[in-house]
Structure 1
Amino acid sequence: MHYVAHRLFAAHDRALAATLAHQLALKLGEDQVFLPFCDTDEEDLVADTKGRRLFELDRDRLRRIRALVAIVHGPSPDDGVCMEVGYAAALGAPVILLTTDFQDYSTTLHSPHTVFPDPLLDALATHIVRVPRLGTPTKQPAATRFADFAARNHAQTEHAVQACVDAVLRLPARPDAPPRSSRDDARTVFAEPSPYASPHAPFPGLTAATGHAVRVPARFAAADPITAARHDWTSALRSTRIVVDASGPETPPGAALLIGAACATGQPVAMYLPHAAYTHAAGREPNHRNLMIQYSVNAALHTPGEVTAWIGG
């Protein structure tokens, strides 16, 4: 099963994902491609807790995927997509990331650039398909400049889709899942702060309060952010527990990636969310984060005291 992960909340994102899924299905067969929203019948599904049911349907496909193909754009990658990437990567499935974003990212003016705003996304990708430039002008005599610009954008996305299909077809046969990293014997917690929060509360001072050794990410200040990101990933997955600060317009990419990994491996994970903002959709219960985040975590914590108590529990 090849899982196409994409932002659900805008028609153009769903259309791009559907085009990609269609092209993959032509090569692999329709039964070998899963497209969320489409294949979970999201618009018409009726369930007592629709958001949870959608999460369960997507998670069931993630458990048995051959590869994950994720569409990732912009400085605030979709948190549901990042959760799915983290889940797949933790299980050892190949992860192909598709982007038409023409920006690079760095943590300081002179630090190394990465394709994505959080270098952990770069580090987890098996392959990155990047098509950052428009297609060539069509030069149709009757076209307005706007029609020509639209055609150049369509050509760009068509090129990106084809390059992504080619990357999937080049994947080697998936080996057996690698052995999972064993948890450390000592009581450890990996504390992932939010890049949107300042200061990075509630994590300072947790060591003395909980009896756990606290680990924090190194990738944002590292000379080699991708190598440091791989170290952060291993450090988090070996820890006894993970706590993430989910503050921001949506769950930060690193937090969402770690939540997905913990969900895949059964590792205890909690999110700190001092200021919840709810989303509402027809027929669905209110969600205080993306539903893939909300139903993956073991606890949602709203005060520093709750964080300390959960870690020490």
Structure 2
Amino acid sequence: MSIYVAHRLFAAHDRALAAALAERLAAKVGTERVFLPFCDTDEEDLIAEVKGRRLFELDRDRLGRLEAMVALLHGPSLDDGVCMEIGYAAASGIPVLLLTTDFQTYSLTEDGVRLDFPDPLIQAVANRVLRVPRLGPPPSSHQQGQTHYAAFVSRNLSQVDAALDTAVEAVLSLPTRAVRSTTHSEDSLVYVEGTPSAAWGHDYLARPCLDAGHAVVLPGRFTAADPITAALDDLTAACGASRLLADVSGPETPPGTALLIGAALASGVQIAAFHPKPTYTHASGREPNWRNLMIQYAVHAHLKNRESVQAWLAM
């Protein structure tokens, strides 16, 4: 079994958590069958002409020959690179396990269906979601001089240990990789994914597509009574379209949008990212990136205004 550990990797505590999971998995299946981004791509010391692109290529190569994925997801702001990787895996028939210690659930309306993640698409593609939301039990006794903060640390670490142990056993019981085939619709079909981070909504991008004679599909999961079923319909539509036009505006790409970009890439769909006001990230030895590098290099075009949208549609 080849297992990909998808995780947010920009802070030490995130990398340490993922490494702890990878270590436990490796003890079961061997280190050669576990892939841990950043660690196994030697990101800190990697030297390449275009480092961000090379990192993307290394990660995508491993995504293409997996048997399972376990993704660490925490809180309402989900890492867009991880969500892209989840989408790629799901569209490739790779079983996906999602692990979270988030104690919140989410809904699209005040009285709506309770979801494990803010976007129903994340939950919809998972073979299994593991929630370990509660702190570990209080220590049975306090060491002399120990503060209540130390006891709180112990309860959090106990929660993490329980989550990781549960995840290891669950990954090993995932189904085998499924064979998926995607049938693309007529060449003129464009799936348009807007962003909640911008006021212009879907119409701003849908209108140029319609004006250029393209058929348009819009997401249905945010307004459906059954958001999980609608999310799977959105996934099928995006992977079956000839083009995906995705607004990636916001602090980071919205999680469902990032997932669709990964799924579309795995399905051979032409992808354009609309991002009129990018902010750039910088890391040692790496070129400036206008979005998470898994998003930036997954898309085939970066569009900044209506005119560039029209030009892409005419290609």
Tell whether the structures are fold-level matches, with TM greater than 0.5. yes
The aligned length equals 311
Which string of whole-angstrom CA distances, capped at 9 and with x for unpartnered residues, describes residues 95-129 of structure 1? 10010011111111111111001000010001101
Q: Is the 8 A contact 2:99 2:163 kept in 1?
A: yes
**AA aligned opposite 2:225:** A
> In structure 1, which of residues 155, 169, 173 is the aligned counterpart of residue 172 of structure 2?
169
Structure 1 unaligned spans of 5+:
none
Partners of 1:283 and 1:116 in 2: how far apart? 34
Residues of 2 paired with 1:7 and 1:173: CA distance?
26
Root mean square deviation, CA, Å: 1.2
Cα distance in 2, alignment partners of residues 207 and 41 from structure 1: 42
Partner in structure 2 of residue 136 of structure 1: 137
Q: What is the 5 A alignment of 1:1-313? A: 1-142=2-143, 143-175=146-178, 177-178=179-180, 180-185=181-186, 187-200=188-201, 202-313=204-315
Deviation string 1:206-251 (CA, Å, 9 cap, x unpaired) is: 3432211111001001111101101111111111100100000001
How far apart, CA to CA, are the structure 2 residues paired with 1:19 and 1:191?
38
State how far apart, in whole Å, the 2-side matches of 1:170 and 1:204 are.
42
Scaled by the length of structure 2, what TM-score is found? 0.96
Distance 1:299 1:307 in 2: 9
Q: CA deviation at 1:186?
A: 5.3
- Distance (whole Å) between structure 1 residues aligned to residue 290 and residue 209 of structure 2: 29
Amino acid at match of 2:127: T
Letter in 2 for 1:24: L
> Which amino acid letter does the alignment assign opposite residue 111 of structure 1?
G
**Distance between the aligned counterparts of 2:197 and 2:104, measured in 1?**
20
Alpha-carbon distance in 2 for matches of 1:287, 1:90: 26
Q: Alignment partner of 1:97: what SS? A: strand
One-letter code of the match for 1:163? T
Instruction: Tell me how far apart the structure 1 counterparts of residues 209 and 296 of structure 2 sit (CA, whole Å).
Output: 27
Please report the TM-score for the alignment, with normalisation by the length of structure 1: 0.97
Question: Residue type matched to 2:195 in 1?
Answer: S
Q: Which amino acid aligns with 2:69?
A: L
